């Protein structure tokens, strides 16, 4: 029961933000034009600060001996490579291909992996999950930008593709974070404080926009890709990852941290990114909502299975 409460507590804030958006739109407090403009602000201002903050705070020396991080990094790249070829087999529209791909590999790890790992393994788990998130989240964001840009305009030359990727606000934020990380002088608290606060605003605002623009009728139309994407995200890929890790010899907190990177819901950031980069934003938002709600039950069952198998 404790595991169910933990999973529920992780999901409820997301549902609250989404419902606020739904209610605000229904009562006429906000209009679609405003929501699209707000989404642009989230994508172009708040999310670049998240990228900056993630990479500015990374201690690259912590990678030494962290084999589970290397495994997760490599496994993520393999999944991305696989979906890049699999998704076009059943989806013909470019605006939806990139959205489906990022829904399959991109997790809401910041808001799920850390609290879940803390609840199961305590302080040791928090440290390990934080190191994992610091290295994997930038990979999520950079590869998502590249994929969405690739499918944005059909046939694009490599030079134009690279140029557009480098011009993306998230990539600019990532580059700035790496540069400031390498500088001998660190930023004062009067700057890091506001940056952290801006980062904290990104997810609630993006979910508010998602709630305000969500259309129930579209979910019926998108039932097939939603079922395929969430099934792969919450069940199939985690099963493969856990099996491989157990065969290699991973156990305990290391296995659980990597599991959380693959079995948690679709990242909320995927919605504003899809909308700002000409992807199917409605489908992206539906992935976030459906996977978040279903994860209450799938995470609970997964924890029971992992404990019952003595893997954690």
Write the pLDDT tens digit of every residue in 127-137.
788 778 878 88
Give CA–CA dist 155/270, Å, rounded.
23
DSSP conformational letter for 188: P
Give the pLDDT band (50/70/90) at residue 231.
very high
- The SS3 assignment for 255 reads helix
**Predicted TM-score of the model (pTM):** 0.79
How many domains, in total, are found in the chain?
1
CA atoms of 91 and 98, how far apart (whole Å): 10
What's residue 299's pLDDT?
86
Which residues are CB-contacts of 299 (< 8 A; sequence separation ≥ 6)? Answer: 3, 7, 10, 112, 116, 263, 264
Question: Looking at the predicted structure, is the pLDDT value of residue 60 above 90?
Answer: no
Given this model, what pLDDT does residue 162 score?
76
**Least confident stretch, 92-101, 107-116, 247-256, 298-307:** 107-116
Residue 54's nearest CA partner among 139, 134, 113, 143 is 134
Paired strand residues for 107 = 266
CA distance 262 to 108: 9
Q: What was the pLDDT predicted at 108?
A: 82
Query: Tokens in use for 145?
Result: 């930008």
Of the two residues 7 and 46, the one the predictor is more confident about is 46
Question: Considering the chain, what percentage of its residues have pLDDT values greater than 90?
Answer: 25
Per-residue model confidence (pLDDT) at position 155: 57
In residues, how long is the chain?
A: 312
Determine the pLDDT at residue 153: 63
CA end-to-end distance (rounded Å), the chain: 17
- Backbone angles phi and psi of 83, in degrees to 5: -70, -25
Helical ranges in the chain per DSSP H:
2-26, 32-41, 47-56, 67-90, 94-105, 109-121, 123-150, 158-167, 169-182, 189-213, 216-221, 223-231, 237-248, 252-263, 270-276, 281-308
Task: Give the highest mean pLDDT range of 54-68, 191-205, 209-223.
Answer: 191-205
Quote the domain boundaries for residue 153: 2-308
For the chain, the maximum distance between any two Cα atoms, rounded to a whole number of angstroms, is 55
pLDDT-derived band of residue 156, with 50, 70 and 90 as boundaries?
A: low
Q: What is the CATH number of the domain that holds 133?
A: 1.20.1530.20
- 187, 177 in Cβ contact below 8 A? no
């Amino acid at each position: 029961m404790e595991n169910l409460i933990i999973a529920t507590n992780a999901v409820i804030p997301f549902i609250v933000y989404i419902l606020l958006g739904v209610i605000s739109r229904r009562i006429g407090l906000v209009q679609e034009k405003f929501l699209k403009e707000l989404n642009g602000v989230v994508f172009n201002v708040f999310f670049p600060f998240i990228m900056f903050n993630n990479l500015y705070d990374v201690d690259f020396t912590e990678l030494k001996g962290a084999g589970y991080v290397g495994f997760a990094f490599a496994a993520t790249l393999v999944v991305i490579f696989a979906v890049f070829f699999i998704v076009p087999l059943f989806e013909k529209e470019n605006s939806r291909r990139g959205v489906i791909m990022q829904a399959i590999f991109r997790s809401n790890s910041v808001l799920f992996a850390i609290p879940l790992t803390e609840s199961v393994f305590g302080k040791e788990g928090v440290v390990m999950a934080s190191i994992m998130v610091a290295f994997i989240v930038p990979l999520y964001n950079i590869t998502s930008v590249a994929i969405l840009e690739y499918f944005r305009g059909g046939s694009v030359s490599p030079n134009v593709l690279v140029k557009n990727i480098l011009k993306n606000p998230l990539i600019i934020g990532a580059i700035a974070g790496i540069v400031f990380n390498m500088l001998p002088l660190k930023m004062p608290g009067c700057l890091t404080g506001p940056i952290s606060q801006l980062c904290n605003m990104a997810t609630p605002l993006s979910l508010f926009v998602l709630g305000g623009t969500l259309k129930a009728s579209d979910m019926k139309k998108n039932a097939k890709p939603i079922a395929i994407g969430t099934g792969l995200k919450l069940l199939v890929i985690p099963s493969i990852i856990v099996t491989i890790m157990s065969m290699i010899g991973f156990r305990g907190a290391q296995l659980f941290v990597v599991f959380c990177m693959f079995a948690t819901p679709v990242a909320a950031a995927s919605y504003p990114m899809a909308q700002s980069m000409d992807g199917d934003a409605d489908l992206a938002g539906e992935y976030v909502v459906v996977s978040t709600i279903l994860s209450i039950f799938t995470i609970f069952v997964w924890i029971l299975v992992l404990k019952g198998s003595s893997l954690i």
